[in-house]
Amino acid sequence: MPAPRRSTRRAANSERKEQNKTQQTLLIAIIGIVAVFAILIGFALSKGGDEDETTGVDPAVSAASGTPNAAPAGSTSSAPLNVTPTESDPLRARVTELLRAIQDGDGEALGRFVSFPRWNDAQIDAGAEGKKWSALDPVAQTVQRQKITESLVADAATQDFMRQATIRSFVVMEQTDRRAKVLVIQQHLIDTKKEQERTLELDRIDGNWFLAAMTSSAIQTPEQMQQTAATERAAERAKRANRDLAPIEKQALLADTPADVASKIESLCAKLTDTSATREVSKAKRELADLGKPAIPAVLNLIVGREELASSADQIVVNHAVSVLKDITQEDLGYAPGGIGGSMDGDIKKENVQALMRWFGWWRDHQKTWTGPRPPADEN
């Protein structure tokens, strides 16, 4: 019976094919599941790595900057420095913490923010006594570090201001990979008219910023600027006035004055002391004026001992002397003679004494170079 055996074989072959197909399908499913899990795990790992790379910061910068408005380790400061340090702005963060260290007077913390070699060498270049950093031995470098740190934190007035101040403006004036220059303006929280500005120069070393130099100054309001300008003008006027004054003391005749001329000058000056000889005095004044420069020292000597203008006689002689000086030099230095035999009140007397001192100052400054009065200006 051959036909039934062929049918049985066909059925067995068909069954084996179905089993193989089922196994292949299951294998493909398992491979697909494994692949999906592998993709998910890889994505998760990749996501975690991206987050670490995005949020990671230089440990030195992170340690120095900390969290926004947080004080350095060991500090109890709570000052409202309103610059928020971010991982993307380490310079801003670094300056914030640097100012906080100054504000707290924290020399130990500040020591982590300063480029001592550059700071030291900049001071030497500016004329300070000392040696360049490379020429200092280790002990001297330690001493210099301490001096620089103390110079930044020892100013109590600066610390008092900064404890009540906030950063109003932060401007990066210059920045390269290695250097930066920053302008910070701080404003007092209570008295908002009070402001201070600081210019900081920083070096980038091993990925972090270190202070190399700093200058500070108070910012004046317009009213304060006007007052300061007025004070400076008054001081300059006083300085100029004092520079023009000289002591009222005996003057020597010019070395090249001939003996006969010297004798004539002495005789004419003696006539100016005779308060009763009006006609002789007028003539003597004209002759002294004609003699010119050689007569000036002797005429000045008429003032010596009489500058306090204590009596009417002293006033008369001084009036004559000033009149001759004005005729010779064509200068008017502010002396205001009183009436003959009259009196001077306190203010006029004080001003006249200063005017007499200006005559002696004029002679001190001009006796070697003066050759005669300037010709009058051509009015045409």
pLDDT tens for each residue of 254-290: 999 999 999 999 999 999 998 777 788 999 999 999 9
Q: Six-digit token pair at 206?
A: 């091993």
Q: What's the Cα-to-Cα distance from 301 to each of 168, 253, 256, 269, 297, rounded to whole Å? A: 65, 10, 18, 9, 6
pLDDT of residue 126: 84
> What kind and span of H or E run contains 380?
none
Q: Six-digit token pair at 31?
A: 């491979």
Taking alpha carbons only, the member of 313, 303, 312, 290 closest to residue 362 is 303
Identify the burial level of 316 via C-beta atoms within 10 angstroms of its C-beta, where 0-12 means exposed, 13-18 middle and 19 or more buried. Answer: buried
Q: Contact at 8 Å (CB) between 193 and 221?
A: yes
pLDDT of residue 333: 86
Which residues of the chain fall below pLDDT 70?
1-88, 237-243, 338-345, 374-380
Q: Is the pTM of this model over 0.75?
A: no
Q: Contact at 8 Å (CB) between 183 and 201?
A: no
pLDDT of residue 41: 57
pLDDT of residue 242: 64
Q: Six-digit token pair at 101?
A: 């260290």
Helical segments of 105-198, H only: 107-110, 116-125, 138-153, 156-163
Q: What share of the chain is helix, strand, coil (3-state, %, to 5)?
A: 55, 10, 30
pLDDT of residue 71: 32
Query: Which residues is 181 bridged to in the sheet?
Result: 174, 201
- Taking only the tens place, the pLDDT of each residue in 28-78 is 666 666 665 656 555 544 444 443 332 223 333 333 333 222 333 333 333
